[in-house]
């Protein structure tokens, strides 16, 4: 992965179009993937202050989803918050130990790196790198392997200040072109339809691995995966998408 311009965190972004292909980074490289590959990514969200909610029974994990991805043999990338790894260390470790998955960083706190961002509390500029490193530390403590140096901004929210502030963290920010709409969705069919409508060769799809906030995701995945395979798609991790567009 090429370094970002002038001391900024590089951003990997898919810009697929209906014309087929597209994609590439920083508006450059053009071409993109003509191959029918698609990356499903799952954000394992838990916010720094949600400990009491977890303690009172709210489930921020989704073991059924992970089991389905294994059963369906879908290589995928999990963007995990450090707080999630602390709450579910055994699951975090098991996901990281499975070559089907790679674990990327979704911050420690799941606070916003630019504002406004869906009402999330904001991380101060000089605390951004520390927050990201704290998540990597939480992964190490939980024994998570297959950790990749990719970062997803909470809510996908960032600006130039955040890209500069995060440069010392040496991560590549990963955005997406297909929003699954699984957050707070209860209709798995609608989520599946939105994904199936949006996917193009080289697409990067954002979904969630958090039952309480995305209860329909597992059922949606069971519809999406066979249908995309029927259409000739192969599932890849983000790292493979990056190789293809390098
Ligand atoms: Zn998130």
Query: What average pLDDT score do residues 61-90 get?
Result: 98
Distance 108 CA to ligand 1 centre (A): 11
Q: Does residue 180 have a pLDDT over 70? A: yes
CA 180 – ligand 1 centroid, Å: 13
pLDDT tens sequence across 136-177: 999 999 999 999 999 999 999 999 999 999 999 999 999 999
* pLDDT for the residue numbered 20: 41
| C-alpha of residue 26 to centroid of ligand 1, in Å | 22
Residue by residue, DSSP assigns 67-134 as HHHHHTT--EEEEE-HHHHHH-HHHHHHHHH-TTEEEEE--SS--BSSSSSTTPPBPPGGGHHHHHHH
pLDDT bucket at 188, cuts 50 / 70 / 90 = very high
Residue 40 in this model has a pLDDT that exceeds 70: yes
83 C-alpha to center of ligand 1: Å?
12
| Angular region, 3: left φ>0, alpha ψ -120 to 50, beta rest | beta
What is the whole-number distance in angstroms between the Cα of residue 68 and the centre of ligand 1?
A: 21
Min mean pLDDT across 5-9, 53-57, 72-76, 227-231 is at 5-9
Alpha carbons within 13 A on the beta-carbon side of 129: 12
Q: How far is the CA of 163 from the centre of ligand 1 (A)?
A: 18
Close Cβ partners of 127 (under 8 Å, ≥ 6 residues apart): none
Centroid of ligand 1 to alpha carbon of 231 (angstroms): 29
State residue 28's pLDDT score.
38
pLDDT tops 80 at residue 52 = yes
pLDDT of residue 211: 95
Q: What is the mean pLDDT of the chain?
A: 92
Percent of the chain with pLDDT strictly greater than 90: 87
CA of residue 110 to ligand 1 center, whole Å: 6
pLDDT in tens, 123-138: 999 999 999 999 999 9
Cα(62) to centroid(ligand 1), Å: 14
Q: pTM value?
A: 0.91
44 CA to centre of ligand 1 in angstroms = 7
Q: Which CATH number fits domain 40-243: 3.40.250.10, 3.20.20.370, 1.10.3210.10, 3.40.50.1390?
A: 3.20.20.370
pLDDT at 31 over 60: no
Ligand 1 centroid distance, CA of 245 (Å): 25
What spacing in Å lies between the alpha carbon of 45 and ligand 1's midpoint?
5
Cα-to-centroid distance, 109 and ligand 1 (Å):
10
pLDDT of residue 4: 59
The domain segmentation of the chain, as residue ranges, is 40-243
pLDDT at position 19 is 44
DSSP-derived secondary structure letter, 4: P
Average pLDDT for residues 72-85, to the nearest whole number?
98
Distance 43 CA to ligand 1 centre (A): 5
């Amino acid at each position: 992965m090429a370094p970002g311009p002038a001391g900024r965190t590089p951003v990997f972004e898919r810009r697929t179009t209906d014309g087929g292909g597209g994609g590439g980074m920083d508006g450059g490289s053009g071409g993109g993937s003509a191959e029918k590959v698609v990356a499903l990514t799952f954000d394992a969200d838990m916010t720094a202050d949600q400990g009491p909610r977890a303690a009172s029974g709210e489930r921020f994990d989704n073991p059924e989803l992970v089991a389905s991805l294994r059963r369906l043999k879908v290589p995928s990338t999990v963007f995990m918050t450090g707080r999630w790894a602390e709450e579910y260390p055994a699951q975090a470790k098991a996901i990281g130990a499975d070559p089907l998955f790679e674990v990327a960083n979704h911050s420690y706190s799941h606070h916003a790196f630019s504002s406004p961002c869906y009402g999330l509390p904001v991380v101060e500029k000089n605390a951004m790198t520390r927050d990201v490193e704290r998540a990597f530390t939480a992964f190490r403590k939980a024994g998570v392997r297959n950790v990749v140096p990719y970062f997803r901004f909470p809510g996908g929210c960032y600006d130039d200040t955040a890209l500069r502030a995060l440069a010392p963290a040496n991560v590549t920010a990963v955005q997406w072109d297909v929003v699954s709409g699984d957050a707070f969705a209860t209709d798995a069919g609608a989520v599946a339809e939105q994904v199936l409508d949006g996917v193009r060769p080289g697409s990067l799809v954002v979904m969630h691995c958090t039952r309480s906030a995305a209860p329909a995701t597992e059922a949606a995945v069971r519809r999406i995966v066979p249908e995309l395979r029927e259409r000739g798609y192969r599932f890849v991790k983000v790292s493979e998408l990056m190789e293809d567009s390098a």
